Structure 1
Amino acid sequence: MHGISARKATHRRRDPIESALRRPPVVVDQGISELRYLILTQGLSNDPDKDFCTYRSYVWCILLKVSPTQSKDYLSLIHRGASPAYSKIRNDTFRTLTTDILFQRRVSETSLIRILNALAWKRWDRYHSRHKQQHQQQNQTSKAGRGSRLHNLHQRSYTQSDISSMSSSSYVGEDDNISVSELYVQGLNVLAAPFLYACASETQAFALFDTYIHTCCPLYVKPMLDGVHLGLKLLDTSLKIIDPTLYSHLKGKLLTAELYGFASVLTMSACTPPLNEVLVLWDFLIAFGPHMNILAVIAQLLIIRDSLLASQSPMTLLRTFPPLQAKKVITLAVSFVPRLPEELYDLLVRHTYDETVSDRIKSL
């Protein structure tokens, strides 16, 4: 009896999110809405014995709608060996979150190399699949045009050169000279890090990582980092509305978001330690959208607002952001939303994935 009592005493009560995960929702969308609400109000809990949230990756899978992935799919990418981006990947991996002891203990550089190299191969496949479809469409259009012209030959006379040009098809073969920047771009190593840290397996981490960057923020991983630069423009515009005094002070020192916010926008704030706080912020970003990182960066500025306003050289403070305080940052970021004009917030939401808003954002 004594043993049973001891086991009961040490049994950890499930938090509200764990309970929600074990309770199948009547309506899927309603269940996801409840999960988002709990993330915002309660947050995920760490296992006290491990100082680590053991169910975080499952929450992320639900939010990103990532189903269990077959290991063979990931292994097939790994077995293809070094991708064309391999050397570029190796130049970045050894520098990933080097000051975070927990990350260094849990995630090896080898696993980071594998997941990034596998992603490069998958992006290679997508690139060629896309170009193959384009060539097929061009061929179909060309054949349809030839058929239409031959059908109407009797309606007018053609010269010999006209007929020769119709019979020769101008087909362009698949382009194998893919740029390395199509496969791997700056910041992907840091974006991969939280997934590898939070997940129980590389396979799961790869599935979440691949889905997140290509579904939620595809413009952030284009060769020219289009979405990142749009985000920096939106950061300046939003800061001007949220805190015109701080905006003017930084502007007066010739400081724009491109100079001080690039790394934070590029990596969804994962570049700012500690990692355990980054994971809490990412719970929020994955639940409510990566666009909220722009407001999270502004929140980090406002936390040190007094120091920035008092400094004649604020860039010295902004070269390295202070340690991340995720809950405080999230509270501030949410409070900014009602202060933004509806049109601006719409651009903020869409800038991570919608190329059609580019010109409107650049004109702000």
Structure 2
Amino acid sequence: MAPVIVLPPSLSSITETMCVKAKTNMSQPTTQRSFTCSRHKNVSPSPGSASSRRTHSHQIDRLPNSFEEILNTTHRTEREVKASLSKLRRMILLEGLPEENLPKLAPSVQNLIRPTSMRSRVWKHFLGVYHVSANEYIRLIQKGKSCVYDKVRNDTFRTLATDKKFLERVNEDMLIRVLNAFVWKMKSSGNKTVTYVQGMNVLAAPFLFTMSEIDAFFSFATFIQTCCPSYVTPTLQGVHCGLKLLDQCLQIIDPKLFNHLRLKSLTAEIYAFPSVLTLCACTPPLEQVLKLWDFLLAYGVHLNILCVIAQLLLMRDQLLEAPSPMKLLRTMPELNAKPIINLTIQLVQQIPDELYDQLVKHPFYPSVAAS
């Protein structure tokens, strides 16, 4: 049997042609109109010629038609891996992951044993996590308390504290181990710019709910480093950049709503900080957060900014009628991933190219909002 070939990070960005008017990212010529679907800052352009586009399309069409079949496919070339990832992304958008009936374990062992869900496998494929090391994780845990251990402990006990399902499945010790080990991992790798910061506990929560602890640790560490490194700088530069971009995008998409909020002295910094910081993971219910993250991991966390705007538009009438909109925004309505994702895809079409380029870049280069 031929060995499975996986994409290195530099090659694992793919552009998916959609049946919607497309947007380009910074690496694509302005003549192309393709919906950006990348988890990295370097997004490969769509095939340039008509014939290559047809070939790319035929390769996708020849792939198996279920998530399980794609995940179990042996890939012999990088092109096959690209095609599989591309089809997975398209299926996430058009179908969504199917509901799973995983075996229910006794409370005494459910934190020790975690059935492997399809979502965990799909997320790991999108992140490029094809290998985990129990020895490395144990070694990091055995290092003991990190320099920010007290800060971690100060946050973990209140992580999704009102979500009963989460609390049944993930205990505080698991969060502490993952976050403390992450800090040690960054130190041992020589990465001095990333450590534990506010909000990381909530970003780790979906991984721990979805995966085994060891898979969650390596997936979370990869996610932080490759999807949103600017969000976890000591000053949260990427988050503040995203909030500025949210204001700019909302002003273009819905000037009336933007001006109404501005007249009430409401900027994204005031009402959207938690939603941007946690990629909406702070808004229940968790089952809908996971579906939204399926989309964000497939197509790029930069789209969360538009997902937050989509939530505003879904409550637009109430916001315009409310004498104090902040009362509504203080507690966002429960997430409903499907309409948010559908509306987000429409919003992509309304953003000017230059602004959309900044949106794509900001999880990596927080200075773009000031440029």
Scaled to the shorter chain, the TM-score interval is: 0.7 to 0.9
Counterpart of 2:196 in 1: which secondary structure? coil
Structure 1: stretches of 5+ with no match in the other structure: 1-13, 132-180
Counterpart of 2:100 in 1: which secondary structure? coil
Counterpart of 2:147 in 1: which secondary structure? coil
Residue 66 (1) aligns with residue 129 (2): yes
Cα displacement (A) at 1:102 = 0.7
Q: Distance in 1 between matches of 2:213 and 2:277?
A: 23
**Identity, % of aligned positions:** 52
Aligned to 1:256: 267
Residue 304 (1) aligns with residue 312 (2): no
Cα displacement (A) at 1:123 = 2.1
Cα displacement (A) at 1:184 = 1.2
2:86 to 30, 33, 36: 33
1:19 to 69, 84, 87: 69
Cα displacement (A) at 1:186 = 0.3
Could you give the per-residue CA deviations for residues 277-307 of structure 1, whole angstroms, max 9, x where no partner exists? Answer: 0000000000000000000000111111110
> TM-score scaled by structure 1?
0.78
Q: Distance in 2 between matches of 1:50 and 1:330?
A: 29
Residue 47 (1) aligns with residue 100 (2): yes
Q: Distance in 2 between matches of 1:305 and 1:56?
A: 32
> TM-score scaled by structure 2?
0.76
Q: Residues 246, 50 of structure 1: CA spacing in aligned structure 2 closer, same or farther, 3 A cutoff?
A: farther
1:185 to 192, 197, 200: 197
| Matched residue type, 2:196 | Y
The 4+ residue runs of structure 1 with deviation greater than 4 A are 49-53
Could you give the per-residue CA deviations for residues 20-64 of structure 1, whole angstroms, max 9, x where no partner exists? Answer: 223345611111110000000011112246699821111011111
Residue 290 (1) aligns with residue 340 (2): no
Contact 2:194 2:229 in 1 (8 A): no
Could you give the per-residue CA deviations for residues 300-342 of structure 1, whole angstroms, max 9, x where no partner exists? Answer: 1111111000001000000010100001110011110111001
Aligned to 1:105: 168
Compute the RMSD of aligned alpha carbons. Answer: 1.9
Aligned to 1:225: 236
Higher percent of residues as helix:
1
1:214 to 195, 219, 225: 225
Could you give the per-residue CA deviations for residues 221-270 of structure 1, whole angstroms, max 9, x where no partner exists? Answer: 00000000000000000001111111111011000000000000000000
1:92 to 142, 155, 169: 155
Q: Residues 40, 182 of structure 1: CA spacing in aligned structure 2 closer, same or farther, 3 A cutoff?
A: closer
Q: Distance in 2 between matches of 1:245 and 1:193?
A: 36
- Determine which structure has more spread, i.e. the larger CA radius of gyration: 1
Q: Distance in 2 between matches of 1:80 and 1:53?
A: 28
Q: Residues 75, 43 of structure 1: CA spacing in aligned structure 2 closer, same or farther, 3 A cutoff?
A: same
Structure 2: stretches of 5+ with no match in the other structure: 1-63, 105-114
Counterpart of 1:339 in 2: which secondary structure? coil
Q: Distance in 2 between matches of 1:17 and 1:30?
A: 13
Contact 2:155 2:201 in 1 (8 A): yes
| Matched residue type, 2:369 | I
Q: Residues 295, 130 of structure 1: CA spacing in aligned structure 2 closer, same or farther, 3 A cutoff?
A: closer
1:336 to 336, 347, 352: 347
| Matched residue type, 1:187 | G
